[in-house]
Structure 1
Amino acid sequence: MILYHGSNMFIDVVDLKKSKRAKDFGQGFYLSKESEQAKKMAELTTFRQSTGFPTITAFSIEDSFLSDCNLNIKIFEDYSEEWAEFVLMNRRNSTSVPVHPYDIVVGPIADDKVGVQIRRFMMGYISCQQLVEELSYINGPTIQYFFGTERAIKLLKRI
């Protein structure tokens, strides 16, 4: 399988310490099966950081990686309350200490309105089910692959 990472620079070596905190599945390295999604992320990252150039780095990984017994893997098939609570838990964690035990997490990307919707939920303005609906992409789920440990990163081969 080929996975793509969009950034404002070419990624030669993945360094988890450079990953941002408080993301959907925590501090880690995010990829997509969709090169177009990676391209959008590269453009957004370049715009937000006002430096570099939109760049997509491709990685290969064995298709059987999800059945690797040596890794702790969580898969969210679709948007759900469990997924929303997981995203909320990770988005609220501003430390470098993970709030979950997973090496790899696979699941939908939250919509860009995450911060506003999480505040609405925490203030009791919307239910958890409404939070799920608000965070869902209008065009259906776009799946992201999170690699959060060195054991997981070792599975990726840059191409």
Structure 2
Amino acid sequence: MQELVDGLILYHGSYCEVRSPQIEKCARRKDFGKGFYLTTSKEQAVSFLKTAIVKAEAGGVIEPGQEYGIVSTFEVRLNHELSSYIFQSADEDWLHCVAAHRKRNSFTEVEKKMSQYDVIAGKIADDATNRTLVAYISGTYGKMGSKTADDFCISQLMPDRLKDQYCFKTARALECLHFVEGEKIWLKKR
């Protein structure tokens, strides 16, 4: 995982260009809580476009049939001190953090601890890993938080293959994101 430094380039995939992200528009109960999510992998941002479009269509935000998404590029400019927590790997602490934010009252101390940070970064639990995490949270692998369940879930996730994500959780953190450009990506060949 890359540390949060000046000049770091991050990408956000969506159904529209996002120049000025706003916390109040961000969804709750994501991997690291409510916040604006980005990645160092443009490929990962592109892979999220279909999901973003489906959600926007289902929510009535856009008309059905949109065949493109936008990858918005940002540069980090640390114009003030941010408190950040960087998970270096998809380990048991990372897993408990993701579970805490996805399922209310599951790891309350972890969720409380993480609420003090402006930015949280770590591996992304994407659509390919979602079934594994849902099974973990529902107790399929054993009691959430037990060594057996944790070890099995992490082994199924193949953490060495997971991309990264950065969650900017506060307005103060968002002030450090400088919009560079938006790129239209067609999902179907025209």
Give the TM interval when normalised to the shorter protein.
0.7 to 0.9
Q: When the two structures are superposed, what TM-score results if normalisation uses the length of structure 2?
A: 0.70
Root-mean-square deviation (CA), in Å?
Answer: 2.4
Query: Is 1:73–2:84 an aligned residue pair?
Result: yes
Structure 2 residue matching 1:157: 3-state secondary structure: strand
- Which residue of structure 1 aligns with residue 15 of structure 2? 8
Displaced runs of 4 or more, over 6 A? none
> Counterpart amino acid of 1:101?
Q
The one-character-per-residue Cα deviations of 1:43-92 (angstroms, maximum 9, x if unpaired) are: 22112332354111110114xx5xx8832110111110011001111111
- Distance in 1, matches of 2:83 and 2:76, equals 16
- Which residue of structure 1 aligns with residue 165 of structure 2? 144
Count of residues in correspondence between the two structures: 151
> Counterpart amino acid of 1:82?
D
- Distance in 2, matches of 1:122 and 1:90, equals 19
Instruction: Please identify, of 50-59 and 117-126, the stretch whose mean Cα deviation from structure 2 is larger.
Output: 117-126
* Change in 2 beyond 3 A, CA 1:54/1:149: same
Select the structure of larger CA radius of gyration: 2
* Change in 2 beyond 3 A, CA 1:28/1:122: farther
Gaps of 5+ in 1: none
Gaps of 5+ in 2: 1-7, 106-110, 181-190
Structure 1 residue matching 2:153: 3-state secondary structure: helix
Task: Using the aligned pairs only, state the percent identity.
Answer: 27
- Which residue of structure 2 aligns with residue 106 of structure 1? 121
- The equivalences for 1:1-159 within 5 A come to 1-50=8-57, 51=62, 52=66, 53-62=68-77, 65=78, 70-93=81-104, 99=112, 100-110=115-125, 111-113=129-131, 114-120=133-139, 124=143, 127-136=149-158, 140-159=161-180
